[in-house]
Chains A and B, each alone.
Chain A
Amino acid sequence: MNRKLNKVKSFLSKPYNILLILLLIFLTYLVVLPLISIIRDTFVVHASEKSRIKQAVGSFTLYHWLRAFASNFSSILIWEPLWHSVYTSVLACGVSILIGGGFAWLVARTDMMWKKVLTKLFIFPYIMPSWTLALAWRNFFKNAVVGGAPGIFTAVTGIAIPNWFAYGPFPIIITTGLHYAPFAYILIGGVLRNMDANLEEAAIILKTNKMRMFTRITIPMVMPAVMSTIILVFSSSMSSFAVPQFLGLPVRFYVLTTEMYSTIQGTNPGVGYIIAILMIVISVAIMLVNQYMIGTRKSYATVTGKSANISLFHLKGARLPLSLLACLIVLCISLIPMISFILQSVILTDGDYSLSNMTLDFWIGLSKGGNDYQDKAGILRNADVWKTLFNSLKLSVTCAIGAGTVGFLAGYSIVRRRGSWLSRLVENLTFIPYLIPSMAFAAIYLSMFSQQRGIIPSLYGTFAILALIGTIKYLPMASRSGVNSMMQLSPEIEEAGVIMGVPWWKRMVRIIIPIEKTTIVSGYLLPFVSCMRELSLFVILVTANNRVLTTLLFFYDEKGWAQYGNAINLLIIFIVLLVNFIVEKLTGASIEKGVGGK
């Protein structure tokens, strides 16, 4: 008995053990229980379903599952959106790899002009909110068929845009693909740049011709990067909500996320929860495929060498045309969208882009007291907007502090106890939120916290639920960076303090934290930036009380107040760029450094 007690005592005398136990409880409550709760929610009657199911609220029912998979509606509810999601995502991958990979090749291996400027601008979408290009597309190409005034393109050229070009799968694929093209560029470009030049030289010496070199050596070498790009882009676009909402809804083109949004906001949340589970299953499946591929015999992580002497491929006559083409694409995804937002936010009457129709009213105009949207105060003078902006900042700071701190402590304790089952368990738990698509995660929290649970009151419509979900969702980001940096810090550094009898808190404050300063800072700033531009995680959890900037943009857009929407969008982009600039200045880490930009 005494022996056991001593064992427990010595276990608890290690601060990291206590941390791990606390994290285990924390994560079980906020990650595992919600997962169970959402499964349970697919079997019960919700308040809004009372009239259609005709059972008491909260009682057991198979209605949702039957309706989703064994009724006349299952094709509309599940299979069609699923098919739409899958094929737009697959084709978006293609666009990303073609554009991003092609650009990477031009930059890394050819004598294309203006490389420095072009690479800077090319990764622009990577920092932007995911819907940037979709909104810009609509500003340019919206047509009068669906309603409202035509966009900039028709106004300038007079050519009417057909529906398939303005809305639905085509623009969704193009804008999603272009938005994630920087991923492809960063991943594939990294390989092309760091690839051991000797591998190609060896082939030259063995008399390999150019064609065979490209197909048999170069392409296979970048294949792993292409695969990770596919996985990243596919899962990102599967879980993207804003783009299909902006571009698909006008022609009733639904994907899983938009279908889930409409069912959860509508009269059958049970089916929405089933869609959420479906999305989690797909996401886990993708992750397993990825793991499987990493484990195969042919896998080779990074083949790098001294690549000082890669000879650049001379484009000769194609140099100028290709450089101009790259320039055009880069402008289309970086500066032109911004111009469209500015234009759209200053015109008085839709569809008229003449100077006389322009006004700064939507930015700085005073409220005229009327009820029409044109009578509202400009966004910089509007108390509601300021309140929302403040709420957004407060939320981002809270999530950043939450995720950053918990992530750092998790990284610390996971690494210190590496190899034990407890550490492994906690590590896996911190990773789960990454696997769950944002909107499905929001659905889970909606189901879990929309009613009182134990000592926690109903959180629906409060700031707390947003802070909670943001913290948990960005935890993987922070704990990954925490684990990675702690792995590089040898335990001896802390043990030297232990031998001298320095207490734990002092070791943290005086030794560990100063050494890990930069990673800790980025562990806080990354969640902040992500939170500022997050829409799908918050959109089903906000009410008029706890609105944030992104959902305000969404709200204005739904109302059709394009000018305010575009103005708010610019505001968000401005803040994101500002924070990103600060991150670069503080940590010295820039995104393109990852590609080895010169």
Chain B
Amino acid sequence: MPRIRLEHITKQFSKGSKAVDQLDLVIEDGDFVSLLGPSGCGKTTTLRMIAGLETPTEGEIYFDDQCVFSQDKGINISPDKRNVGFLFQNYALWPHMTVRRNIAFGLENMKWEKSRVESRVKEICDTMRIAEYIDRYPAELSGGQQQRVAIARTLAPNPRVLLMDEPLSNLDAKLRNDMRAELKRLHMNTGATFIYVTHDQSEAMTLSSKVCLMKLGVLQQYSPPLELYGSPQNIFCADFMGNPSMNFVPCKGTPRDGAIELEAESFSLLFHPNSPAEIRSGQELVLGIRPEAVKIVPSGGIESKVISSLPTGLDTILSLNARGTILSAIDFGIVDYKMDSIIRFTFEGNRFVLFDKESTNQITLGSLSLRA
């Protein structure tokens, strides 16, 4: 299984704007990497460039030490020689072939023996649990079944790398959850390198070993999902990850004895950084507070009014008005709050994030306490 390396990859379409801009990325052997970002961030283009379906305008791509693309050296190995599997968003099953023919087609291209083709088709169909539909046409299958056939077709030749372009986005919510679990098992069983494009942050969180978050063609952060969630590099990353999303409170900071005094519109707080941080006195900052760090307790130091309360049974999402600042909070278990009632909360934990307002970059993580 190869290690995939992208160096200074840039893709500019004829219209002028850059779909991908100077992307450097190393995907380790056996990784499950998600390319994540809002639509138009260049994630699908990146995937297609790795597959060879799209030609970069600049840069180099390596599979292990083999260069498969280089603008400078004029190398561009065609997609069929890169030994990758590609799973399309709309499955791209050939409508005029049965499931069996769809899966066997690629194997026949590789000049496999007939009996070997047959046994491999049977084997993969059993794995994907589509053996009973083997003689049907794609139009006669449900979305989920088509999805399995597409995966089977892609996996049949045992590709070294599996590239997936939003493969679950055409499925309904329940099926999508089932397929997520299945994909994760598949990754473990095949040991192949998976590269997965999605715009759904929870999908990227739950599936991948590493997430590559992009915005307008530029890499924002490339790290394991929990690190991306817990220690976002900038406001965009912090905002993109998590649902309900992070609260952002603009404030002014003053350093004091290793801690930072924060002066927001409606409260004064003391920020204790986990590791020493330098700020200028009076620097404009943004404080990031995850909703789960807003802890509702009767003894809480801040009083607030419940604007809305949305219980699901698993948790309840609250919107609170604390002295004019609107914060979202989450409370777990079967609880509900009366609208317009007054409750008290406190800030808990040490994963509050301080961003510089101007550059939007993270300064440090830390914990909060109220200032009298």
Contact = CB atoms under 8 A, between A and B. Distances in A.
Interface stretch (A32-40, A97-105, A202-210): A202-210
A380 to B, nearest CB: 52
Interface string A335-357: 00000000000000000000000
A298 B137 contact: yes
B90 A223 contact: no
Interface string A282-322: 00000000000000011110010100010000000000000
Contacts of B109: 206-209, 212
Interface residues of A, number: 25
B372 interface: no
A252 B342 CA distance: 101
Given A196-B92, A221-B96, A223-B96, A204 B80 contact: yes
A220 interface: yes
A145 interface: no
B106 A220 contact: no
Given A206-B105, A298-B137, A198 B88 contact: yes
Contacts of A206: 80, 105-106, 109, 153, 157
Given A201-B53, A205-B51, A208-B109, A300 B86 contact: no
B95 interface: yes
Interface string A193-219: 000101101111111110010001100
Contacts, number: 70
A299 B54 CA distance: 31
Contacts of B96: 220-221, 223, 298, 300
B92 A202 contact: yes
Contacts of A216: 105
B77 interface: no
Contacts of B53: 201, 204-205, 309
A205 B157 CA distance: 11
Contacts of B86: 201-202, 205
B105 A305 contact: no
Interface in B83-114: 84-86, 88-90, 92, 94-96, 105-106, 109-110
A198 B86 CA distance: 10
Nearest to B83: A207
Nearest to B165: A198
Nearest to B82: A205
A205 B79 contact: yes
A207 to B, nearest CB: 4
Contacts of A205: 51, 53, 79-80, 84-86
A228 to B, nearest CB: 16
A305 B90 contact: yes
Contacts of A299: 139
Contact of B88 (A202, A207, A212): A202
Interface string B98-135: 00000001100110000000000000000000000000
B227 interface: no
Nearest to A209: B109
A207 B54 contact: no
B315 interface: no
Contacts of B106: 206-208
Contacts of B78: 204
B140 interface: yes
Contacts of A202: 86, 88, 92, 94, 153
Interface string B33-67: 00000000000000000010110000000000000
Contacts of A221: 95-96
Nearest to B88: A198
A299 B139 CA distance: 9
Nearest to B84: A205
A205 B77 CA distance: 12
Contacts of B110: 207
A303 B90 CA distance: 11
B355 to A, nearest CB: 37
B80 A207 contact: yes
Contact of A297 (B54, B90, B92, B140): B140
A209 to B, nearest CB: 7
Nearest to A224: B96
A196 B92 CA distance: 8
Nearest to A219: B96
A305 B139 CA distance: 15
Given A201-B86, A203-B105, A309-B54, A208 B80 contact: yes
A303 B88 CA distance: 14
B95 A303 contact: yes
A532 to B, nearest CB: 41
Interface in A166-211: 196, 198-199, 201-209
A282 B90 CA distance: 41
B266 to A, nearest CB: 47
B243 to A, nearest CB: 28
Contacts of B85: 205
B80 A201 contact: no
Interface string B166-209: 00000000000000000000000000000000000000000000
A217 B94 contact: yes
Interface string B139-155: 11000000000000100
A83 B88 CA distance: 50
B337 to A, nearest CB: 39
Nearest to A198: B92
B139 A300 contact: yes
Interface string A148-161: 00000000000000
Contacts of A298: 95-96, 137
A198 to B, nearest CB: 4
Given A207-B110, A297-B140, A198 B80 contact: no
A319 to B, nearest CB: 21
A107 B177 CA distance: 44
B103 to A, nearest CB: 10
Nearest to B139: A300
A300 B88 CA distance: 19
Contacts of B88: 198, 201-202
Interface in A208-242: 208-209, 212, 216-217, 220-221, 223
Contacts of A217: 94
A199 B105 contact: no
Contacts of A203: 94, 105
A359 B95 CA distance: 61
Contacts of B89: 198
Contacts of B84: 205
Contacts of A209: 109
A240 B308 CA distance: 73
Nearest to B101: A216
A205 B90 CA distance: 16
B158 to A, nearest CB: 12
Given A198-B89, A209-B109, A220-B94, 13 more contacts: A198-B90, A199-B94, A201-B88, A201-B92, A205-B79, A205-B80, A205-B86, A206-B109, A206-B153, A299-B139, A303-B95, A305-B90, A305-B92
9 contacts: A198-B88, A201-B79, A206-B109, A207-B110, A208-B106, A212-B109, A297-B139, A305-B92, A309-B54
Interface of B: 51, 53-54, 78-80, 84-86, 88-90, 92, 94-96, 105-106, 109-110, 137, 139-140, 153, 157
Closest 9 pairs (CB-CB, A-B): A206-B106, A198-B92, A300-B95, A207-B80, A220-B96, A202-B92, A207-B109, A198-B88, A205-B86
